[in-house]
Amino acid sequence: MRMIPALFLLLAFFVQGYTVLAADASAKADEFAEINKLISGFGPNLKADSIKPVSLPPLYEVVLGADVFYVTKDGRYMLQGDVVDLRERVNLTEETRAKGRLQLVNGIDERSMIVFAPEETKHVVTVFTDIDCPYCRKMHDEMAAYNRLGIEIRYMAFPRAGIGSESFHKAVAAWCANDRQAAMTAAKAGQRVKKEKADCEDPVAEHLSMVKTLGLTGTPALILENGTLIPGYVPAERLLGIIEESKMN
């Protein structure tokens, strides 16, 4: 008879333990419910294989020009990638990159650029261009259309083949011409352009250095007035739409 209370006590212990485990499992399910809901919204039948907390100290944002990364205060951990506000649908890291790009581009003397400006400038786009790039040439063919829409195009040199290449020398010739605009147009049309100023201190190598700082990899590379990077050729009407939308955000 004395064993009965002990048996009940043991049974009560197991029941209590099971209840705690069940409650813990339920709590974890609730804890990750929002994450699972988020993942399921990425696509049909998507389910996380694993979700677990990561023990990391607070992260600090580090900006180097247009590069953005995150480190812990003790310098032990570094995180590379974009931080996105999923509720507001905003890429916070890209916003910081854009500010960095804008600061770098605004620090460049416009006199080192080849500028095609309309009668009334409404928008300014800085374009890193390669004279031999087919899409750069296609973009240049639409210069009148860009200008007609009030878009000023400011060219910077990005001969992708690098210093000393044929594209590099073509860019130098265009920048060292008495009429830079005419020389650029002729070069992009496939015409041979000679370097007219023997003592010209061209900015092509300096522009290439900026290309590396900005992390650009292709041409044309368009940077809007808010620092947004648009890779590749964009027709005039579409570019205007992108610019106007960027100014609304």
- DSSP helix/strand/coil, 229: strand
Question: Which residues make beta-bridge pairs with 43?
Answer: none
Select which of 132, 133, 137, 154 is catalytic. Answer: 133
The answer to whether 160 is a known catalytic residue is yes
The answer to whether 176 is a known catalytic residue is no
The answer to whether 49 is a known catalytic residue is no
Q: Which string of b and e fits 193-203 if b means at least 16 CB within 10 Å? A: bebeeeeeebb
Q: Where are the alpha helices (DSSP H) in the chain?
A: 3-31, 33-40, 92-106, 134-141, 143-148, 166-175, 180-188, 204-214, 236-248
Select which of 130, 137, 176, 202 is catalytic. Answer: 130
Q: Per the structure block, which two tokens stand in for 126?
A: 């800085």
Select which of 101, 132, 136, 137 is catalytic. Answer: 136
Helix axes 166-175, 204-214, angle to 10 degrees: 120
The answer to whether 200 is a known catalytic residue is no
Select which of 101, 137, 160, 176 is catalytic. Answer: 160
Cα(93)–Cα(91) distance, integer angstroms: 6
Catalytic residues: 130, 133, 136, 160
